[in-house]
Amino acid sequence: MNITLHEYISKSDQIHNMITNNIDFLSTKDMNGKLNILEEYINQIQTVSYRIAKIYEICKKASSKKIIIFKQHQNDQAEHDQPPEINTHITLKNHFSQLLIPPPGFEKKPILSQSILDAYSNGKYRNITPDIHIYAHELESLDEIPNTNIYWISSINQFAVRINGVLFRGDIGNIFNKNDQNQIGIEKCCHGKNCKNLKTKHGCKFYHDPFDLLMNGLLDTSDEKTKICSKYRNWSNSSWIYTSDFIKPSNLNMRHIGNRATLNEDLILLKKSIKYKDSIDKYQSQIMHDILVVLATHSNFKNYA
């Protein structure tokens, strides 16, 4: 076998990162292919583990046999000038062919117990407020934090990143004054794939998620009308303002969660709103906007630390 344990871990980590960062865009064929590779790694490592375990058992038995015979020789030393020779090589040779094939069903046994996996992950639930916690990995210093790439998803022309299993995707949009009569692409179109304006001369003034269009065979990047309404989501400048009021037409574009002191209460109120999914989706898209703005500043201010 020409692969080291370090290479197994490295290759598995690469597959893990690829799947978790692209799970919404991978085909079933690609996903199954990656899972088959991981399963093959498991089988190969288990086979090696089984061989080593068998060799250990044989050597241990041979060692025990030699100790017993040696003790017998000590007791009978008066009758025997020399201890008998023990041919343990024959035992190993006879059993070596059995090491090549694991027992039936062995391939399906897990390599590590759940407790070991949990300890390896080094993650714990940490409170972000007295009532709310999230799962986080614990490190000693900032230098230990691994770099997380941001990805460009070419099929939908969006940037994306996944944090703790939550997908953030989107682009930098335009920010309109809340009273601007020319603002477009802020709210999602309520008609979605059934929007008739997508086929009209001027297109739709509301935002259409390119992933939804792609899934319904409606994403045409060569069509200017489709490109404009799905290229990026725009924002009202009031959408960065927090309010603790119920969601209603007058504050629909404002933030309804985010205040530390009332986060638990805000989440309870949000769950009672029929618009809660839109509010969370809007927040995630806006976070992607902010991430890209921050990355742009770091890219242009090289000396900023």
- pLDDT confidence bin for 171, thresholds 50/70/90: very high
List, for residues 174-222, the tens digit of each pLDDT value.
999 888 888 888 888 888 888 888 777 777 888 888 888 888 887 776 6
| The predicted structure's pLDDT at residue 101 | 45
| The predicted structure's pLDDT at residue 93 | 40
Pairing of strands 158-163, 166-170: antiparallel
CB-based contacts of 202, cutoff 8 Å, min separation 6? 225
Burial label, 184 (beta-carbon count in 10 A; 0-12, 13-18, 19+): middle
Query: For residue 29, which amino acid is it?
Result: K
- pLDDT confidence bin for 170, thresholds 50/70/90: very high
| Residue with the larger pLDDT of the pair 138 and 25 | 138
Express as a percent the part of the chain with pLDDT over 90: 11
| The predicted structure's pLDDT at residue 75 | 58
Query: For residue 35, which amino acid is it?
Result: L
Could you tell me the end-to-end alpha-carbon distance of the chain, in angstroms, rounded to an integer? 46
| The predicted structure's pLDDT at residue 67 | 58
- pLDDT confidence bin for 83, thresholds 50/70/90: very low
Burial label, 231 (beta-carbon count in 10 A; 0-12, 13-18, 19+): middle
When computed from its CA atoms, the radius of gyration of the chain, rounded to whole angstroms, is 31
Task: With a cut of 60, say whether residue 262 has pLDDT above it.
Answer: yes
* Count of helix runs (H) and strand runs (E) in the chain: 8, 7
Give the lowest-confidence range in 47-51, 118-122, 131-135, 189-193.
Answer: 118-122
Please say whether the dihedral angle defined by the alpha carbons of residues 141, 143, 146 and 147, taken in this order, is positive or negative. Answer: positive
**Span 138-166, mean pLDDT?**
87
CB contact at 8 A, 86 and 65: yes
- Sequence ranges of the domains in the chain: 5-116, 149-186+233-300
Task: With a cut of 90, say whether residue 51 has pLDDT above it.
Answer: no
